[in-house]
Structure 1
Amino acid sequence: MRKVLFGLVLIALIVLSLFVGVHSVSLRGVLVGDELQRLLLVKTRIPRTISLVLAGGMLSLSGKIMQHLMQNKFVSAGTIGMTDSARLGILFVMLFIPNGSILTRSLVAFIFSYLGVLLFLSLSRVLPKGDPMILPLTGVMFGNIIGSLATFLAYQNQLVQNLSSWLQGNFATVMAGSYELIYITIPVFFLLYLLGYQITVAGLGEEHATNLGLNYQKLQWIVFALVALGSSSVLIMVGSIPFLGVVVPNLVSLYYGDHLKNTVGLTVVSGSIFLLICDILARIIIAPYEIPVSVVVGVIGGILFLFILTRRKRT
């Protein structure tokens, strides 16, 4: 029943997203053949809404899987250095391949983000166990070091503004012909779903998973490669979205349990719903102007994160 309810909410928000914005687009206008409204719908609103659904689902699923594999509720692409590593990759392209295509930027961002994850995984093995906050705090510091390096190089080469504008989470610039790379997330969703059983077993810990015949390290490399690919494609297309990969999986976990196989679909749909709501708010709060969705997600996500911390402390 809850899956049906979540699905209906998602459909309602998708429809709302198609018709809310600075320029008026109505179903009646599209049906009677208003060329401007039809053009806006096809060229901007539909690509934007698809990007919101895929980006929200991908970031939420990535966070859920990383939390499950690393047995820590507070890790995500933004707290283990993956996003900052991808940012360094984008800067690398700006410096050395300035005329590189969007595919080139995506490939380099993926390589850097994956290398960053592998480096952090190696670092996590020597961290003390027991305190769940040590891993994400170390990840934040690790990411800050990489981010500071990227910022320093950007200042040195007068690319700070370019890098900042490129990475600020914003769906206002999504248009037909320039957003299609985000469809990479669809096969990533499919592959991660197929690996659901192995990921569930790996969540028991390396020792238990190995005893059950699973090649734990190989699975980690494959899964984190898929997560890095999906997350870097979102970063390239729409920029950085804070808190999403932590907040949504934790909320789903609080109310529907930790079983990965049973909550994968809910996590994906919940991430899409959350990002759609934030984007719609970003369009209407100071209409006819628009706030970057990363700002709205940051405010709402920060409040929800504090709520999650207090709830988990009580339990």
Structure 2
Amino acid sequence: MAVLFAGLIAVSLALGAARLDQDALWLLAVSRLPRTVAAMLAGAALAVAGVIMQMLARNRFVEPATVGTAQAAGLGLVLVTLAAPAAAIWVKMLVATVSALAATAGFMALVRRLPPRDPMLVPLTGIVYGGILAALAVFLAFENDMLQYIEVWTSGELSGVMLGRYEFLWLAGAATVLAYAYANRFTIAGMGEEMSLSLGLNYAQVMALGLAIVSVVTAVTVVSVGMLPFVGLVVPNIASRLAGDHLRHSLPGLAAFGAALVLACDILGRVIWYPYEIPVGTILGVVGAAVFLWLLQGRRAHAA
């Protein structure tokens, strides 16, 4: 993993339309290093948020982008932009976090009412739930001539990341560290409420903390670089197959895998149509969908 990271970072720093000549240090410091760091922070944080979401929902087919969390963050951005167009970025991020938290809590309340016999009902409910929130955001944007604004957060894009425009992603990194500190509690919470209470765990408190971490990570990522699909879905599933479900043991590798995936997809998007770029969200959508279908086929073959 260390060798892979070193190679990806070197390629990311060296790749670009501008040549590294006499202004190499300035270009690296202002543009390419922030972009590389932003890709790794977003990937690691989204992978961790995805596994926490799966633990809390007790379903392997959910992530923040498929349960309405990311869509609610975008809706919060639209609402705060309409109410206070000149609001500071941290105000917009706070509103997006609160909106994402409320929507995620609403999804968890819906999950409790679903029959446990069919696990596919959970992601299907999440997709419909998120689609309603996204439709509401698009309707408000259309009515107020803000459709281009919606495009910014729906298509993950790292080309605009520069020094001074990515630092809020360190909050997502801090949330990832906090998740590692409570990894054992999240593992127990993934066993269900009855088992958690029997083991002496404050289930409600852990649920609240998990929802807060997922909401903060999602909102910060959406505001900073847009929506990055499938990271929180495929990375936890692959990590679970390789390292098991004990988060204390698997979380560092899972975060590293998520960071490497986003960084690799960003590099791929910059190479395919060089010197132009394909948004990293588009590349992740194609790669993530293919990997997810492979995981589904493997699950069916294993069940058979």
Q: Does 1:236 align with 2:236?
A: no
1:8 aligned partner, one-letter code: V
Aligned counterpart, 2:202? 215
User: Structure 1 stretch 41-50 or stretch 184-193: which is displaced more?
Assistant: 184-193
CA shift for structure 1 position 298: 0.7
- Out of 156, 168, 179, the position equivalent to 1:181 is 168
1:14-55 Cα offsets, whole Å, 9 max, x none, are: 121111111123xxx4xxxx1x22221110001000101100
2:209 aligned partner, one-letter code: I
Distance 1:306 1:126 in 2: 27
TM-score (norm 2): 0.97
- Whether the 8 Å CA contact 1:279–1:293 is kept in 2: the answer is yes
Aligned counterpart, 1:21? 16
Distance 1:258 1:307 in 2: 20
- Classify the secondary structure of the residue corresponding to 1:204: coil
Distance 1:135 1:166 in 2: 25
Q: Does 1:164 align with 2:151?
A: yes
Q: Does 1:9 align with 2:4?
A: yes
Over 3 Å counting, the alpha-carbon distance change for 1:209 and 1:166 in structure 2 is: closer
Aligned counterpart, 2:280? 293
CA shift for structure 1 position 168: 1.8
Q: Unpaired segments of 5 or more residues in structure 1?
A: 1-5
TM-score (norm 1): 0.93
- Out of 142, 154, 172, the position equivalent to 2:129 is 142
CA shift for structure 1 position 69: 2.2
- Whether the 8 Å CA contact 1:68–1:203 is kept in 2: the answer is yes
Aligned counterpart, 2:249? 262
Distance 1:61 1:134 in 2: 23
- Out of 225, 249, 262, the position equivalent to 1:275 is 262
Report matched runs for 1:43-192 at 5 Å. Answer: 43-192=30-179
Over 3 Å counting, the alpha-carbon distance change for 1:300 and 1:21 in structure 2 is: same
- Classify the secondary structure of the residue corresponding to 1:143: helix
CA shift for structure 1 position 166: 4.1
Equivalenced residue count is: 302
Distance 1:156 1:254 in 2: 46
1:215 aligned partner, one-letter code: N
Q: Percent identity, aligned pairs only?
A: 37
- Classify the secondary structure of the residue corresponding to 1:54: helix
1:130-152 Cα offsets, whole Å, 9 max, x none, are: 21111011011000011111111
Distance 2:29 2:50 in 1: 31
Distance 1:228 1:24 in 2: 39
Aligned counterpart, 1:3? none
User: Structure 1 stretch 55-64 or stretch 247-256: which is displaced more?
Assistant: 247-256
Aligned counterpart, 1:251? 238
1:291 aligned partner, one-letter code: I
1:22 aligned partner, one-letter code: A
Q: Unpaired segments of 5 or more residues in structure 2?
A: none
- Whether the 8 Å CA contact 2:69–2:215 is kept in 1: the answer is yes
- Classify the secondary structure of the residue corresponding to 2:65: coil
- Classify the secondary structure of the residue corresponding to 1:258: coil
